[in-house]
Amino acid sequence: MNKTINYADTFNGQYVKSDSHFVDLASRFNTFCDESKAIEFRMMTREFRRRNPNFKTIQDVRKRICRALPALLSDIEVDTTMQRLLNLEHVLGMLENFKATKVQPIQVYQDPERPGKYIAWDGQHTAILLYILAVMVFEITPADFEISVAIYDVTTKAEIRENFVGLNGEDKLPLDAIDLFQQMVFGVRVDGSKKPDWILAEQKQCMLEKHKLFATSDKFDNTHEVGAISRMAELDKASPAVVEQFGIYWSAIRKQRSVDAKEIFMMMTWFMHAEVQNLKIDTNYILDIADMNLGLFDANFAPSGGFWAKCETAYENWYQGTPQSAWQEPSMQKMPSHGIPFLNAQITKSLGRKVPQFVANNGFTPNEKDLW
């Protein structure tokens, strides 16, 4: 019998690899660049020409980008006005966790005031690490240690300083939570990594695949697809067992939509509290909760959904009937801090099952008459 392939299967298909997959630059670009984005690039190339009139040919560009060269460690100097203060604790950490393949070329420029020297404008901690390796570990002089530098053709120190600030901050594209998750999964499946946290990430991915779910981000333009999880915080904190429990819940409610942020926040927090308290939540219990949620509020945890409307009424009634103090919020927060006490009370009333202990940050306890 043929299986129905949905979007989650297609997206998760990228992880079904046991070997590296190599593509040229054109293929990589074209895979991600649709017609709309191509137009944006065409317009930006026009803007590039207007902003950079000195670049007449590609060779003009080549002359200005960095060149990789060998250099003696003794020829490296640091402009202390260009670099941040030296952090020896960071250097100790680099030495403790040393990997040769992590060592990058020192970013340098040549200053007419220091002929024959390479002035490090980025990478001083790496340079100091290499100095320690030479002098303190292998007991040789810096003049006997040849390293790699990336030399930049610059005309002013102002340009270098702007580069330092940009490359260490605003110009860098940091790894998002989804990027880290994907790399950990690939690390196990392609590289055979044995790192414990990477193995946990791969196990979670297995649970997502099993239940037609997939982790994603707004930048992939697919958070609206069925089974999309765009809130990574709970996925990162949850154990594979909790991800499995949420997957069973998702399969049970059978909704043809993406996973709402409040939904995964609420349910995974609930499952995590049960796990920490060693409260057994088997499949039947999860199916009971799914059935209850569907019957009472169509399993809709969206901010405008029925769950929060009912919870808000219960909160207002509780607040009005409770001696008030400075730490009590006058209005209900659509968060687990107020949502889980309501959900627990509803499970107790509707299912008669034991629930994980969860004390609201302000003592919110819904009255039974305010439940379904």
Ordered structural domains, the chain, with CATH: 23-53 (no CATH), 67-167 (3.90.1530.10), 177-370 (no CATH)
**The pLDDT of residue 271:** 98
Cα–Cα distance for residue pair 268/252, rounded to 1 Å: 15
CB within 8 Å of 240: residues ≥ 6 apart: 200, 203, 204, 206, 207
* pTM attached to this predicted model: 0.75
Distance separating alpha carbons of residues 138 and 136, to the nearest angstrom: 6
Given this model, what pLDDT does residue 191 score? 87
Q: Please, what are the averages of pLDDT over each run of 10 residues along the chain (372 residues)? A: 70 80 78 84 87 87 80 90 83 89 89 88 90 91 92 81 79 81 90 92 97 94 95 96 98 95 97 97 97 97 95 93 69 90 97 94 90 97
CA distance 366 to 351: 16
What amino acid occupies position 77?
Answer: E
Q: Is 123 left (phi over 0), alpha (psi -120 to 50) or beta?
A: left
The answer for residues whose C-beta is within 8 angstroms of residue 303's C-beta and 6 or more apart is 262, 334
Neighbours of 353 (CB within 10 A): 15
User: What distance in Å separates the CA atoms of residue 342 and residue 232, rounded to the nearest whole number?
Assistant: 24
pLDDT attached to residue 243? 98
CA angle 166, 168, 173 (to 5 degrees): 80
Residue of 186, 272, 276 lying closest to 233 (CA atoms): 272
